Amino acid sequence: MIIKEMPLSERPREKLIADGPESLSNRELLAILIGSGTRERTALSIADELLCMDSRGLKRLSECTVSDLSGVKGIGTAKACVLVSAIELGKRISGGSVYEDKKISAVGDVVDVFMEKMRYLKKEYFNALLLNSKGGIICEETVSIGDLHSSIVHPREAFQAAVNRGAASVIFVHNHPSGDPTPSSEDINVTKRLIMAGKVMGINVFDHVIIGDGTYVSLNEKGYIE
Number of domains composing the chain: 2
Residues 92 and 112 in one domain: no
Question: Which range marks the domain in which residue 91 is found?
Answer: 3-96
CA distance 112 to 29: 27
Confidence of residue 222 (pLDDT cuts 50, 70, 90): very high
Confidence of residue 145 (pLDDT cuts 50, 70, 90): confident
More confident residue, 11 or 45: 45
What does each C-alpha distance from 186 to 3, 147, 153, 192, 193 come to in angstroms?
A: 54, 10, 11, 10, 11
CA dihedral of residues 37, 43, 47, 53 (deg, nearest 10): -20
pTM: 0.60
Q: What's 107's domain CATH number?
A: 3.40.140.10
Residues 9 and 63 in one domain: yes
Whether the pLDDT of residue 202 is over 80: the answer is yes
Cα dihedral sign, 218-64-137-202 = positive
The mean pLDDT value for 32-40 works out to: 84
DSSP type of residue 4? G
Residues 184 and 154 in one domain: yes
Phi and psi (nearest 5°) for 110?
A: -65, -45
Residue-wise pLDDT for 78-135, tens only, equals: 999 999 898 888 877 765 555 656 788 899 999 988 898 888 888 889 999 999 998 8
CB atoms near residue 197 (< 10 Å):
16
The mean pLDDT value for 45-68 works out to: 83
